[in-house]
């Protein structure tokens, strides 16, 4: 069988949760999955689009599984080979389905299956659902489509609004009598536009953009409402899952046990506000059970969701703040949450109890400030000098501002610039001789250029510190350029006859590992020396791989030595995992390294590629960091999820103002 199974079916088989009354494996679920998720294959124009489509597909599968809807993730080209019949087929991002896939979808529609489509450019596919494809539309300014507003033709029990900041859309319009616009896009000011976000017909539903990683609770609710309109059994599955798991927020199993655990956390009786939350949660859960028993599945799901929300709020409020704690946030965009409005971003962070922001403003491929050394990003013309705006706003709101500097990686660089660096022999080469778009860290020209950029960034703006990232090689498979070969032999005296075999896995492997580490460490030392010269007191830090000392061999990153030698003021290991025990083990191991005391701020992967954490998961990892003795923590990344789903819970307790 192609694909993999996710969701409630697996949980039932494993005995993770009990089947709800009257709903056993003898039901339709036993031989028919609820949703097939057809990730792009032939419909994507290139490998990058396929990779993006696979990520979007995995996100949809994760959300449906978390909502208790059994689904199968599969390639779209399997649709015309498979004979089984799901309830629904979802196309999360399938730009131009092939004639074979369209024919398979047509056959499935004729058998009564329904389609849920996201952001396709296929007029034929739109026609299959009784819809007409509109033009592709790109935002000319920030915030034209900031949320989805459901209207009078919304599916039953849909949320009124769902957050989603889309930069481009491809709407469809009703083309048959039973097709209706269920939701429109809202702009940043809350004004409803005339552009459809969802259109639903008797054959399926169409959203005019893909599902982005934001407002996960709202997106799950929206998906259940849309899918439940097409197949009411979806609500039954989701309600059973939600009611059974309403009390499982990570500290106990049932609602009563979780409430009791939260009450025990307090050294004294809970304040009335927290106690009221717990009592309301217990009451809503009783209502959810009764609604489910009465067959009112959507209402039961809502009551169970309310139960969980109240328990999470009570748990968050039961936490205590810690005086003097460092609380940093990485901002991957470098533009803040609201481009051009750093005051609003800093106000949000300060109000949530954060103490530092790390904007990604500098990389070899482009600077988000008026650099005199590095090519300036076009976004500066659109949104202003981000270094100047961020540092000024951070100072007004009492935040530290650390300039996040990407080293060596040329991701996003101008193609002509890359070609010139390649001609000059300044880019990396893998052990197979393939080019890699990273500047070689051992090349003196590259080192001088990066030092000049850091010196310029540090001298001209009022930063608290400089934060180095990608301060490493990309992996053990590079760099093996001719420059590395010559410099390695010069520095070590080793005479390599078979390159790169003798250094990759042969007789000079140990010397090669140590030499690579030395190249990166020497650069960090050079940065430290330059910062002390141009701006004494500026703090130097680095984002580092969590697995030390293994990262010495793989990427040449000897950050334990940097701490011991005092080359950096602190490091932020990227301890990105959803596993609390794994996070604990990584943090404990890091904090016992020589020189680590007071200088390791573990990174929590709220929305990293390796992890997705809800508010409880973030709270638990911060608690683990505190228990291990860490003087602070870092959160990745400044986005909608962090602002709206995590920071509000932290400010109730862990980062609450005393």
Q: What is the pLDDT of residues 161-216, one digit of tens each?
A: 999 999 999 999 999 999 999 999 999 889 999 999 999 999 999 999 999 999 99
Homologous superfamily of 329-573: Glycosidases (3.20.20.80)
Q: How far does Cα 247 stand from its chain's mean position?
A: 25
Element (H, E) at 530: helix 509-534
Neighbours of 12 (CB within 10 A): 21
- The tokens describing 89, both together, are 């087929």
In three-state secondary structure terms, 611 is: coil
**CB of 389 closer than 8 Å to CB of 342:** yes
Q: Quick one: pLDDT at residue 142?
A: 61
Identify the sign of the CA torsion 150, 155, 157, 158: negative
**CB of 165 closer than 8 Å to CB of 190:** no
CA distance linking residue 30 with residue 39, whole number of Å: 24
Phi-psi region of 439 (alpha: psi -120 to 50; beta: other; left: phi over 0): beta
CA distance linking residue 117 with residue 43, whole number of Å: 13
Q: Quick one: pLDDT at residue 33?
A: 75
Q: By C-alpha distance, which of 93, 252, 102, 234 is closest to 156?
A: 234
Q: Which long-range contacts does 576-580 make (Cβ < 8 Å, 24+ apart)?
A: 576/546, 576/603, 576/604, 576/605, 576/608, 576/609, 576/610, 576/611, 576/636, 577/605, 577/610, 577/611, 578/605, 578/611, 578/612, 578/613, 578/617, 580/250, 580/617, 580/620, 580/621, 580/624
Tell whether the model's pLDDT for residue 218 goes beyond 50.
Answer: yes
| Opening angle at CA 565, ends 559 and 569, nearest 5 | 70
**CB of 466 closer than 8 Å to CB of 458:** yes
In three-state secondary structure terms, 638 is: coil
Q: What is the mean pLDDT of residues 541-560?
A: 98
Tell whether the model's pLDDT for residue 6 goes beyond 70.
Answer: no
Place of tokens 């533009």: 335
Number of residues that this document lists for the chain: 658
Neighbours of 460 (CB within 10 A): 17
The pLDDT-based confidence of 254 (bands split at 50, 70, 90) is very high
The pLDDT-based confidence of 18 (bands split at 50, 70, 90) is very low
Count Cβ neighbours within 10 Å for each residue of 88-110 and write b for 16 or more, e otherwise.
Answer: bbbbbbbbbbbeebbebbeebbe
What backbone torsions phi and psi does residue 81 show, to the nearest 5 degrees?
Answer: -100, -30
Cα torsion for 412, 414, 418, 424, to the nearest 10°? -140
Q: How far does Cα 392 stand from its chain's mean position?
A: 28
Q: By C-alpha distance, which of 187, 51, 37 is closest to 117?
A: 37
Q: Quick one: pLDDT at residue 1?
A: 27
Q: Quick one: pLDDT at residue 267?
A: 60
Q: Quick one: pLDDT at residue 32?
A: 56
Identify the sign of the CA torsion 370, 375, 377, 378: positive
DSSP state of 267: S
| Opening angle at CA 333, ends 331 and 338, nearest 5 | 85
The pLDDT-based confidence of 9 (bands split at 50, 70, 90) is very low
For residue 635, count CB atoms less than 10 angstroms from its CB and return exposed for 0-12, middle for 13-18, buried for 19 or more.
buried
Tell whether the model's pLDDT for residue 245 goes beyond 70.
Answer: yes
List, in sequence order, every residue forming a beta bridge with 409; answer none if it has no partner.
438
CA distance linking residue 207 with residue 222, whole number of Å: 11
Q: By C-alpha distance, which of 460, 477, 482, 445 is closest to 364?
A: 445
Count Cβ neighbours within 10 Å for each residue of 317-333 and write b for 16 or more, e otherwise.
Answer: bbbeeeeebbbbbbbeb
Q: Quick one: pLDDT at residue 394?
A: 98
Q: What is the mean pLDDT of residues 484-498?
A: 97
Q: Quick one: pLDDT at residue 84?
A: 86
**CB of 350 closer than 8 Å to CB of 394:** no
Tell whether the model's pLDDT for residue 2 goes beyond 90.
Answer: no
Q: Quick one: pLDDT at residue 412?
A: 86
CA distance linking residue 443 with residue 340, whole number of Å: 37
**pLDDT tens by residue, 44-80:** 999 999 999 999 999 999 999 999 999 999 999 998 8
Q: By C-alpha distance, which of 171, 223, 176, 173 is closest to 197?
A: 171
Q: By C-alpha distance, which of 6, 15, 13 is closest to 33?
A: 6
Q: What is the mean pLDDT of residues 520-529?
A: 98
Q: Where are the domains of the chain?
A: 4-239, 240-317, 329-573
Q: By C-alpha distance, which of 84, 55, 51, 81 is closest to 70?
A: 84
Q: By C-alpha distance, which of 589, 571, 580 is closest to 634?
A: 571
**pLDDT tens by residue, 574-592:** 999 999 999 999 999 999 9
DSSP helix, strand, coil percent of the chain (3-state; round to 5) = 40, 20, 40
CA distance linking residue 215 with residue 465, whole number of Å: 32
In three-state secondary structure terms, 91 is: strand
Instruction: Return the beta strands (E) in 510-646 as ranges.
Output: 539-544, 570-573, 603-605, 632-636
Q: Quick one: pLDDT at residue 648?
A: 97
Q: What is the mean pLDDT of residues 611-631?
A: 97
Read off the pTM: 0.90
Q: What is the mean pLDDT of residues 610-623?
A: 96
What backbone torsions phi and psi does residue 271 show, to the nearest 5 degrees?
Answer: -55, 155
Mean pLDDT of the chain: 92
The pLDDT-based confidence of 658 (bands split at 50, 70, 90) is confident
69 cis-preceded (ω within 30 degrees of 0): no
Name the more confident of 655 and 22.
Answer: 655
Write the DSSP string, 507-523: TTHHHHHHHHHHHHHHH
* Strand-pair category, 356-363 with 71-75: unpaired
| Opening angle at CA 339, ends 334 and 340, nearest 5 | 110
Share of the chain above pLDDT 90, in %: 88
Q: What is the mean pLDDT of residues 361-380?
A: 93
DSSP state of 563: H
Q: Between the CA of residue 520 and those of 246, 527, 534, 558, what are the distances in Å?
A: 49, 11, 21, 8
Share of the chain above pLDDT 70, in %: 94
Q: Quick one: pLDDT at residue 14?
A: 29
Q: Tell me which of 3.65.10.10, 3.90.180.10, 3.40.1110.10, 3.40.50.880 is the CATH number of domain 4-239.
A: 3.40.50.880
Q: Quick one: pLDDT at residue 29?
A: 40
Q: Quick one: pLDDT at residue 20?
A: 29
Q: Between the CA of residue 210 and those of 54, 70, 108, 207, what are the distances in Å?
A: 12, 20, 23, 7
Q: By C-alpha distance, which of 530, 605, 517 is closest to 560?
A: 517
Q: Quick one: pLDDT at residue 141?
A: 67
């Amino acid at each position: 069988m192609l694909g993999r199974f996710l969701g409630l079916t697996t949980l039932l088989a494993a005995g993770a949760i009990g089947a709800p009354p009257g709903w056993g494996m003898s039901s339709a679920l036993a031989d028919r999955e609820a949703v097939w998720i057809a990730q792009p294959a032939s419909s994507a124009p290139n490998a990058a689009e396929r990779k993006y489509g696979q990520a979007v597909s995995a996100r949809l599968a994760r959300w449906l599984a978390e909502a208790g809807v059994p689904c199968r993730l599969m390639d779209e080209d399997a649709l015309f080979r498979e004979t089984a019949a799901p309830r629904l087929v979802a196309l999360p991002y399938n730009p131009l389905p092939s004639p074979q896939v369209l024919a398979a979808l047509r056959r499935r529609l004729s058998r009564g299956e329904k389609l849920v489509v996201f952001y396709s450019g296929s007029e034929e596919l739109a026609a299959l659902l009784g819809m007409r494809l509109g033009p592709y539309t790109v935002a000319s300014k920030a915030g034209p489509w900031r949320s989805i507003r459901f209207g009078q033709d919304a599916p039953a029990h849909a949320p009124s609004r769902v957050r989603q900041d889309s930069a481009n859309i491809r709407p469809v319009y009703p083309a048959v009598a039973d097709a209706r616009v269920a939701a429109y896009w809202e702009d940043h000011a809350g004004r409803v536009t005339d552009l459809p976000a969802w259109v639903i017909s008797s054959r399926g539903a169409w959203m005019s953009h893909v599902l982005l990683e934001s407002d996960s609770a709202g997106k799950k609710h929206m998906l259940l409402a849309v899918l439940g309109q097409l197949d009411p059994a979806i609500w039954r599955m989701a309600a059973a899952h939600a009611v059974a798991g309403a009390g499982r927020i990570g500290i106990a199993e049932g609602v009563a046990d979780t409430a009791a655990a939260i009450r025990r956390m307090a050294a004294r009786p809970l304040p009335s506000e927290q106690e009221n939350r717990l009592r309301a949660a217990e009451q809503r859960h009783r209502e959810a059970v009764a609604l489910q028993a009465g067959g009112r599945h959507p209402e039961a799901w809502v009551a169970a969701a309310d139960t969980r929300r109240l328990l999470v709020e009570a748990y968050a409020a039961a936490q205590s703040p810690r005086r003097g704690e460092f609380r940093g946030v990485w901002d991957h965009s470098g533009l803040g949450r609201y481009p051009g409005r750093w005051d609003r971003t800093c106000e949000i962070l300060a109000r949530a109890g954060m103490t530092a922001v790390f904007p990604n403003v500098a990389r070899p491929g482009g600077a988000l400030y008026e650099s005199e050394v590095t090519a300036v990003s076009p976004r500066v013309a659109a949104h202003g000098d981000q270094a100047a705006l961020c540092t000024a706003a951070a100072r007004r709101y009492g935040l530290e501002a650390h300039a996040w500097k990407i080293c060596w990686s040329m991701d996003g660089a101008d193609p002509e610039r890359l070609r010139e660096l390649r001609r000059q022999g300044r880019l990396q080469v893998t052990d197979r001789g393939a080019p890699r778009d990273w500047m070689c860290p051992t090349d003196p020209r590259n080192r001088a250029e990066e030092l000049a950029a850091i010196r310029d960034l540090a001298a001209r703006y009022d930063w608290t510190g400089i934060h180095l990232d990608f301060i490493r090689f990309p992996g053990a498979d590079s760099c093996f350029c001719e420059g590395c070969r010559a410099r390695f032999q010069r520095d070590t005296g080793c005479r390599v006859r078979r390159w790169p075999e003798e250094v990759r896995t042969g007789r000079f492997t140990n010397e090669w590992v140590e030499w690579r580490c030395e190249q990166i460490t020497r650069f960090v030392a050079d940065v430290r020396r330059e910062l002390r010269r141009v701006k004494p007191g500026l703090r130097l830090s680095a984002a580092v791989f969590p697995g030390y000392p293994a990262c010495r061999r793989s990427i040449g990153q000897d950050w334990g030595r940097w701490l011991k030698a005092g080359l950096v003021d602190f490091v932020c290991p990227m301890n990105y995992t959803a596993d609390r025990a794994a996070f604990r083990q990584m943090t404990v191991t890091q904090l016992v390294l020589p020189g680590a005391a007071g200088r390791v701020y573990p990174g929590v992967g709220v929305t990293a590629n390796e992890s997705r954490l809800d508010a409880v998961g973030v709270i638990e990892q911060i608690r683990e960091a505190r228990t291990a003795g860490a003087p602070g923590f870092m959160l990745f990344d400044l986005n909608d999820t962090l602002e709206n789903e995590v920071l509000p819970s932290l400010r109730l307790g862990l980062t609450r103002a005393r």
